[in-house]
């Protein structure tokens, strides 16, 4: 890679690799379930020894056991730590952190902030369990349900700011922010996981207006864990955000190079 280049790869769900020189971070790496139309090579996450976990839900930690090697460090809070230990991940691979933790990972400086998870209503839960897709795919549904419910978030969601080469990347695993937390505004890139609520557009709009990042990468809008996920139409949020900032939407496994701040600013059309 050219000097000071930052490359971002999206694999589906909230799974992202950030590469800066010889340093790499993996965020919430997850293999789509076998009955998903989305497929990833089994070696897709190879070559990265540092993993950040935003929260403990199955679609954020369920593939960790398949990915870890002897030199892998997985940074997470207590709830996913306990879930991963139950799944057989060795404690030598786990690094227990909390909101306020600041640590180095290669050339990256990572700051963990208290985050939040998008609020799932009873209606959302019932809709997922009793939707037509779930009824049509009853085989294995109970097993999937038990897998998902065995991994709890327990209000321990984190978001991260990864700083490298003078640029800041804001990492969200769910599209929600904690109250009374002062998050850094104007990051060079923010990741927006676009799934989880029927009001997702309004939620994304409010968070953008609060954070005003120089660019937004849309994630988690895909159908990787059916029938509890679905493909989300992102056209409305793309149209809104593109008036004010750069919007990046990738196909699973594709990458882009984070532009410098000047090139992003020239794309910005104003403020909402």
CATH 3.60.15.10 fits 6-265, yes or no: yes
DSSP string, 89-128: --GGGEEE--TT-EEEETTEEEEEEEB--PPPPHHHHHHH
Angle at 3 between CA 101 and CA 40, to 5 degrees: 70
- The residue that leads in pLDDT, 212 or 261, is 212
| Confidence tier at 260 by pLDDT (50, 70, 90) | low
Report whether pLDDT(156) > 60: yes
How large a percentage of the chain has pLDDT more than 90?
A: 75
Report whether pLDDT(129) > 60: no
Distance CA 171, CA 92 (A): 25
- The residue that leads in pLDDT, 138 or 119, is 119
Report whether pLDDT(130) > 70: no
| Confidence tier at 143 by pLDDT (50, 70, 90) | confident
Mean pLDDT of 251-255: 96
Query: 3-class SS at 246?
Result: strand
Please tell me the predicted confidence (pLDDT) of residue 140: 66
- Peptide linkage before 166 cis (omega within 30 of 0): no
Report whether pLDDT(205) > 90: yes
- Find, among 200, 112, 208, 120, the residue nearest to 156 by Cα: 112
The answer to whether 10 touches 254, Cβ cutoff 8 Å, is yes
| Confidence tier at 245 by pLDDT (50, 70, 90) | very high
Report whether pLDDT(121) > 90: no
| Confidence tier at 229 by pLDDT (50, 70, 90) | confident
Q: What does the domain layout of the chain look like in residue ranges?
A: 6-265
Neighbours of 198 (CB within 10 A): 11
Please tell me the predicted confidence (pLDDT) of residue 270: 43
Our measurement of the distance from residue 28's CA atom to the centroid of its chain's CA atoms, rounded to an integer in Å, reads 6
Distance CA 164, CA 169 (A): 8
Report whether pLDDT(84) > 80: yes
Please tell me the predicted confidence (pLDDT) of residue 266: 31
Please tell me the predicted confidence (pLDDT) of residue 1: 65
Mean pLDDT of 27-55: 95
Report whether pLDDT(120) > 70: no
């Amino acid at each position: 890679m050219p000097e000071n280049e930052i490359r971002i790869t999206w694999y589906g769900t909230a799974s992202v690799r950030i590469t800066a020189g010889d340093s790499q971070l993996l965020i919430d790496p997850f293999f789509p379930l076998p009955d998903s139309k989305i497929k990833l090579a089994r070696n897709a996450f190879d070559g990265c020894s540092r993993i950040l976990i935003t929260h403990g839900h199955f679609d954020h930690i369920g593939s960790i056991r398949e990915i870890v090697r002897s030199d892998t460090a997985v940074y997470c809070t207590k709830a996913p730590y306990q879930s991963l230990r139950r799944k057989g991940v060795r404690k030598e691979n786990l690094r227990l952190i909390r909101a306020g933790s600041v640590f180095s990972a290669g050339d990256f400086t990572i700051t963990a902030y208290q985050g939040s998870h998008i609020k799932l209503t009873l209606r959302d839960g019932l809709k997922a369990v009793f939707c037509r897709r779930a009824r049509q795919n009853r085989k294995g549904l109970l097993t999937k349900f038990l897998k998902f419910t065995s991994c709890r978030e327990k209000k321990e969601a984190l978001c991260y700011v990864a700083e490298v080469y003078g640029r800041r990347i804001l990492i969200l695993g769910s599209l929600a922010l904690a109250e009374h937390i002062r998050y850094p505004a104007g990051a060079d890139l923010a990741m927006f996981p676009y799934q989880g609520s029927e009001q997702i557009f309004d939620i994304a709009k409010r968070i953008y207006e609060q954070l005003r990042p120089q660019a937004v990468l849309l994630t988690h809008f895909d159908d990787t864990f059916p029938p509890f996920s679905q493909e989300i139409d992102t056209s409305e949020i793309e149209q809104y955000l593109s008036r004010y900032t750069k919007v990046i939407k990738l196909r699973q496994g594709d990458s882009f190079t984070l532009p410098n701040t000047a090139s992003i600013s020239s794309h910005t059309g104003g403020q909402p």
